[in-house]
Structure formats: structure tokens, C-alpha cells
Chains A and B, each alone.
Chain A
Amino acid sequence: MNTNVSQKTMLQAQSIRKSYGKKGSAQQVLKGIDLHVAEGEFVGIMGPSGSGKTTLLNVLATIDRPTEGKVLIEDADVSDMKDAELSAFRRKKLGFVFQDYNLLDTLTVKENILLPVSLGRRNRSGAELAYQAIAQSLGIEGLADKYPHELSGGQKQRTSAGRALIHRPALVFADEPTGALDSKSASNLLDTISKLNLERRGTIVMVSHDPVASSYCSRVIFLKDGRIYSEVYRGDKSRQAFFKDIMDVQAVLGGEAVDVV
């Protein structure tokens, strides 16, 4: 099914370690993680609370720096880039979707979505076209002049997705994007995102504790205690079948499996 996946490597993590606290009493959250994500993949990261999912996402997404190891995005080593370089890299190549949307509440939907392209010296008509296209595929054209507090959770998350995708990032990071949504809005959003992903040949890395959300992925990685515990591929399976596979691994893993059903 995933004909979209090419052999080109988009993201590569090499023996990532991350510890917090002072030396001596440091607590290791990531204990050596190797990861390889190909262009066009939709990768889910799951695991019980405290397994290090969000830390891993932050390190991969250049928001946090690993204590040891390397992160390569499109063959560029982001773990030792300077702040200015890193900022420019994030702006050009990466997109972010968060659980609590993180929209700027004094900006309208359109202004929020256009924010990432505002520094890129892109001409205004080009940006306008990009906005029209993304707003249409997310179904939020009618909301351009609305402020975040006037929107429903699903609409906010669509706006947030629009902001993450408008500049056609090579790699999108999503941290529990459906965490605050009801199940209908959640599946709507995930449908749209995975469709867009197919169209635009983008790559997505998503952290979620929700097996339904993860079943939209092409591959799901399970973390436990800062290490990769297992991986499942969707392959040609239907989403329902893949959901069952995920549930099976979670049952073995323990933790959150109980509160899902």
C-alpha cells in the first residue's frame, strides 16, 4: 500500500542518549536509540508514560539536544548546528503539530497559518496561493478571519496543521495531535493529514498513546524505559487489522493498554 515510501533516508538517529539532571545523579531518559525513517513514511511512536516518547520527539525535532549520539535530517547533522542555523533549518524543513494547538491567540486563522512563511522573504502572491491550497484541503477556508477562541478543538487543530504544512516541510513532527479531540474530529484530522502526506510526499513522525491514531501510521515504534522495545509495520494490512497488531503489542508492553478500550 505504501508506494509513497522511497529508499531515500529522511531522518536518522544514531545511538541517542539523553539524560537530565546533574552529573552523578543524572537520570537517563533515552538509553541508546537507533532509528531510520525513509522519505514518505508515517511513523508512530508509542509507549507507556515515562518511556521517553516526548523526549525522543523533541530530540529528533531539534527542540532538545541529545546528550550523546547524532540526529541526521536529510543527511544534515542537526545535533551540532548553531542556534541561528537550527532556527533556519526548522523554518524551512520542519513542521510541528501539538496536542494543545499552540495557536497565537491574538492572530486570526489566516495570520496563524501564514506565520511560518512570513520571514522566508517569499513573495506575497506565492504565500497567498499556498494558503488557499492548504486551507482548502483542510476545509477551513471559511474561517480565515476567525480568532482561535472562536473555533472548536478540531478547527484549531486543523489550523495548527495548516501552519505546520504551509511551507511544504520535508518532515512533520506531531505530539499527541489528537489528544484533546473527540474521536470523530480525531479521525477526520488523521484522514486529512495522511492524505496530504501521500499527496505531498512528506514524512511524518507522530507521538501518540492512542492506538486508533497510531493505526493511521505506516509503522509504529514502541518505546519502553528509554529503549526501542518493538516495531510493527502496517504493510498491506487494513487499518483495522493494523489496529489489532498495535493492541497486541501494547498488551505485552503493559502500561496504557488497559485504559484504551
Chain B
Amino acid sequence: MATLKREVKIVNRYGLHARPAMMLVELANRYSSKIEVSNGQLTIDAKSIMSVMRLAAVQGTILTITADGKDAEDALASLEKLVQDGFGEMEPADDGPSI
């Protein structure tokens, strides 16, 4: 079980603000693998909301997700999909992040 790695780009307008960050953390916590996210400068535990917020990932940021464990492959696939789908925020929204 090697460490798997995937690069993703933040596409939704307001980036990893509180709600998407919580979605990412909740999803990561469903897997037993050790999951980390890096923005190039900072590598953090994807299961910690405070840490994910610290990435300050705005629209366009490239993140590297690594996963190590039994369900690493599934974890990466579902996390990648979540980010690519813009955390369900891709419909036109002009009134700022919801929370």
C-alpha cells in the first residue's frame, strides 16, 4: 500500500471557505487512510477543519492530496470529485459564500 497522490484545482468561486472545508473534512473522516493536503507551502491533515482552513485555498489554487491506507484509492477518488464539482457551489452565485 503505497502513498497515492492526486492534484486538484479549486474551481468554485469562494474557494475552501467554511462550508466546503467542512464537506472536505467530513468526507476525509469517512476513510481510515491517513489523508493529507498540501498547497505547496503547507501540508496539513485533511481530517482537521482548522488545518484545512489554514490552507487559505482560494479559487484557482492547486492542491495535492495524498492518501495512505487500505481505502486510499477510494478516498482520493471521492475527494477529487468533491473538489472538481466545486463542492456543489458551481451554479451562479453572486451573494458571497453561504456562511
Q: Are A and B interaction partners?
A: no
